[in-house]
Structure 1
Amino acid sequence: MPRHLHTESNTPRWIALAAVLVVFSALVFGALHFASGTTTPAGTDTSPLPLASSATTAAPGGASATGAPASNTPTAAAVDPKTGRRSTLGGLVPDYTLPPIEDGMVPVITKIPTEQKVVFLTIDDGAVKRESDLALLEKNGIKASLFLAHTFIAGHSDFYQAYLDAGFLIEDHTMTHNLGFINLPYGQVKAEICGMADYEEKYFGRRPVLFRPPGGPYTMAVRRAAAECGMKAIVDWEAKANARSMQYQVGDALRPGEIVLMHFRPEFPADLGAFVKAAKAAGLKPVLLEDYLGVK
Structure 2
Amino acid sequence: MRVVVQNDKKRAKGRRGRTAARAAVAVLTAAAIASGCGRDDEAPPPLKAPPARALDGYATKLRAEHAARAAAAERWGLKRTPLGPPPPPATKPVITTRDGFEVDGHEEQGLPPVFTTVPTEEKVVFLTIDDGAEKDPAFLRMMTDLRIPYTAFLSDYLVKEDYGYFRQMQARGAGLNNHTLSHPYLPGLSYSEQEREICGMQDVIEKRYGTRPLLFRPPFGNYDADTLRAAKACGVRYVPLWNEEVFVDHWEYREWDRDIHPGDIVLSHFRGTDEWAGRMPDMIRVFLDEVTAKGYAVGRLEDYL
TM-score normalised over the length of structure 2 = 0.67
Q: Cα offset for 1:70? A: 4.9
CA distance in 2, matches of 1:91, 1:111: 16
Find 1:186's aligned residue among 191, 202, 207: 191
Aligned to 1:231: 236
| 8 Å CA contact 2:121, 2:262 repeated in 1 | yes
Find 2:117's aligned residue among 102, 111, 118: 111
CA distance in 2, matches of 1:282, 1:218: 33
Mark the runs of 5 or more structure 1 residues left unpaired by the alignment: 1-38, 40-45, 48-57, 76-87
| 8 Å CA contact 1:121, 1:259 repeated in 2 | yes
Structure number with greater Rg is 1
| 8 Å CA contact 1:171, 1:211 repeated in 2 | yes
CA distance in 2, matches of 1:209, 1:61: 42
What secondary structure, in the 3-state scheme, does the structure 1 residue paired with 2:220 have?
coil
TM-score normalised over the length of structure 1 = 0.68
Q: Cα offset for 1:249? A: 1.4
What secondary structure, in the 3-state scheme, does the structure 1 residue paired with 2:221 have?
coil
Within-5 A mapping of 1:66-145? 70=57, 72-74=60-62, 89-90=86-87, 92-93=89-90, 96-99=93-96, 102-145=108-151
Aligned to 2:163: 157
| 8 Å CA contact 1:200, 1:207 repeated in 2 | yes
What secondary structure, in the 3-state scheme, does the structure 2 residue paired with 1:171 have?
strand
Q: Cα offset for 1:279? A: 1.1
What secondary structure, in the 3-state scheme, does the structure 1 residue paired with 2:129 have?
strand
Deviations 1:142-166 (A, max 9, x none): 1111001000111522211111111
CA distance in 2, matches of 1:248, 1:141: 25
Q: Cα offset for 1:91? A: 5.2
* Paired letter, 2:168: A
Q: CA RMSD in A?
A: 3.4
CA distance in 2, matches of 1:155, 1:208: 20
CA distance in 1, matches of 2:146, 2:301: 17
Aligned to 1:272: 284
Aligned to 1:29: none
Residue correspondences, number:
234
Q: Cα offset for 1:261? A: 0.2
Q: Cα offset for 1:118? A: 1.2
* Paired letter, 1:96: P
| 8 Å CA contact 1:246, 1:278 repeated in 2 | no
Find 1:248's aligned residue among 247, 253, 259: 253
Aligned to 2:152: 146
* Paired letter, 2:226: A
What secondary structure, in the 3-state scheme, does the structure 2 residue paired with 1:211 have?
coil
* Paired letter, 2:220: G
Bigger proportion of residues as helix: 2
Deviations 1:274-294 (A, max 9, x none): 11122112211111111011x
Find 2:219's aligned residue among 209, 214, 218: 214
Q: Cα offset for 1:140? A: 2.6
Deviations 1:89-125 (A, max 9, x none): 5254456223497504211011123322110000011
Q: Cα offset for 1:247? A: 1.2
